[in-house]
Amino acid sequence: MARIYTVAPQLAGDIIFTDNQNAELTQSISALNGTLDQNNMPLSTVTRAKLAAPTTVATVGPPAWDSYYFQSQSYHIAEGCAGIVEYAPNTWTMGWIAFEATPSAADRTGFVLEFEAQEGMLKGEATIDLEHRQSYYLYGYSTPAEPPETEPSIGSGFIVRDRHTGELGVFVNDVLVARTGPIWIACGRHTYTLPWASPVKSGPVKVDVRWLIDYVNSRSLVSTGTFYFVGIIQVYPVCAHDRLLWCRNEYR
């Protein structure tokens, strides 16, 4: 076995300190329990011939992802996108909305992973290039005429609706494991990165990314003596551009 250096100097005066003596035993005990590293395993013990090459499995989809299986862990990576995915306001619902619930099945890549996991830990990251613009309402109005005017005054105005917030979350088998918290998404286009981790047992696993929006109508058009007529209401859709979802399954 390779040489192991002492954790503390062994001086004559230290013989009464049992901590330093017991610390030396933990290295040998840990080796008996299977903890072998570069400090207590000779370099010539493991050769390149004993290292098995990983197995690669490509899921064509949609959704599509690549899986790489090693001896102690596996990686699952979904990246790429088929253009912009739009979520029109008439499709919004309360609560979490799955990104994979897109109008086209071809747009699901980058939002979901499905694989057979081994007991241990799942660690990964979701990166979404998300876009949402400020909504607005254009309107016209008229007010009663006052002497010496003979006709009511007519004007126009607008309201910018930008108080709504959104949120991104990662789910493992329909259990929320990470979330951004409320973020002001009515600010154009930004990229959000969401790291996550979760224990897992052996069996099928589905990892997917979801979003929600808390849309706020900031003002109501009510005024005594003023008549408002129909204007133009513009509520922009939520758009997802490039995205990346990956997961590492560390075996127990």
Question: Hey, where are the domains in the chain?
Answer: 1-49, 52-251
C-alpha distances out from residue 252 to 74, 119, 120, 122, 208, Å = 12, 6, 4, 11, 23
Cα separation, 136 vs 149, whole angstroms:
32
Provide the token pair at 214. 């808390």
Q: For 16-40, what is each residue's pLDDT tens digit? A: 566 666 776 776 677 667 666 666 6
Average pLDDT over residues 52-74: 88
**Would you place residue 2 in the very low, low, confident or very high pLDDT band (cuts 50, 70, 90)?**
very low
pLDDT above 90 coverage of the chain, percent: 27
Provide the token pair at 161. 């609706």
Among residues 198, 203, 205, 204, the alpha carbon closest in space to that of 122 is found at: 198
**Would you place residue 248 in the very low, low, confident or very high pLDDT band (cuts 50, 70, 90)?**
very high
Q: Are 183 and 165 in contact (CB under 8 A)?
A: yes
Average pLDDT over residues 158-187: 87
pTM over 0.85: no
